[in-house]
């Protein structure tokens, strides 16, 4: 069922501009596939889906690649340049504020990069929390984010 659902997701995003997980869930339901938001989040991560800016200024899911951190690094830089509005460090936690709907894309890109000192991430609609192993790692990554912008 998982592979069939993921095949349908790829098919749907290749044919239509899907901007949110709710839109994706509705599109899957119209294909007869019932899914939860948590399952879709895992599918998005597994498929390496990222959001890209469209010509009309909206965002849509596209298929990322699995072939190395350098591609994800480029995607992360693009996501940050286009969507991060603010960021802060609080001891070992980084807080990243994005445009609405893009925090998950930023966390997905980060989670798929092999950042050794990143313990985990949580994303809401426009806010991401990154837990680093220690304060020094958080400060270092904070400086990397600053250089991206």
> Does 2-63 carry CATH code 3.50.50.60?
no
CATH, range 75-148: 3.30.1360.40
99, pLDDT greater than 80: yes
Task: Read off the pLDDT of residues 34-82 as tens digits, 9 standing for 90 and up.
Answer: 999 999 999 998 888 888 888 888 889 988 755 544 455 666 667 667 7
Task: Read off the pLDDT of residues 104-143 as tens digits, 9 standing for 90 and up.
Answer: 877 776 776 667 899 989 999 999 999 999 999 999 989 8
Q: What stretch(es) of the chain map to CATH 1.10.10.10?
A: 2-63
Tell me, what's the pLDDT at 76? Answer: 63
Is residue 109 a contact partner of residue 121, using CB atoms and an 8 Å limit? no
Which H or E run includes 45?
Answer: helix 37-46
pTM of the prediction? 0.51
Tell me, what's the pLDDT at 95? Answer: 96
Tell me, what's the pLDDT at 69? Answer: 45
Residue 63's DSSP bridge partners are 49
Tell me, what's the pLDDT at 105? Answer: 77
Where on the phi/psi map is residue 121: left (φ > 0), alpha (ψ -120 to 50), or beta? beta
Is residue 124 a contact partner of residue 65, using CB atoms and an 8 Å limit? no
What token pair was written down for 74? Answer: 């480029």
Is residue 103 a contact partner of residue 124, using CB atoms and an 8 Å limit? yes
Q: What stretch(es) of the chain map to CATH 3.30.1360.40?
A: 75-148
């Amino acid at each position: 069922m998982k592979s069939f659902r993921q095949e349908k997701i790829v098919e749907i995003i290749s044919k239509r501009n899907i901007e949110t997980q709710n839109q994706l869930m509705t599109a899957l339901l119209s294909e007869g596939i019932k899914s939860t938001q948590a399952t879709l989040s895992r599918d998005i991560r597994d498929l390496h889906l990222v959001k890209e800016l469209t010509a009309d200024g909206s965002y849509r899911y596209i298929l990322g690649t699995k072939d190395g951190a350098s591609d994800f690094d480029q995607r992360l830089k693009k996501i940050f340049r286009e969507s991060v509005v603010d960021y802060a460090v609080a001891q070992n936690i980084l807080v990243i504020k994005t445009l609405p709907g893009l925090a998950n894309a930023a966390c997905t890109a980060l989670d798929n990069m092999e950042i050794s000192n990143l313990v985990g991430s949580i994303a809401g609609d426009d806010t991401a929390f990154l837990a680093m192993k220690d304060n020094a790692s958080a400060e270092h990554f904070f400086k990397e984010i600053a250089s991206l912008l």
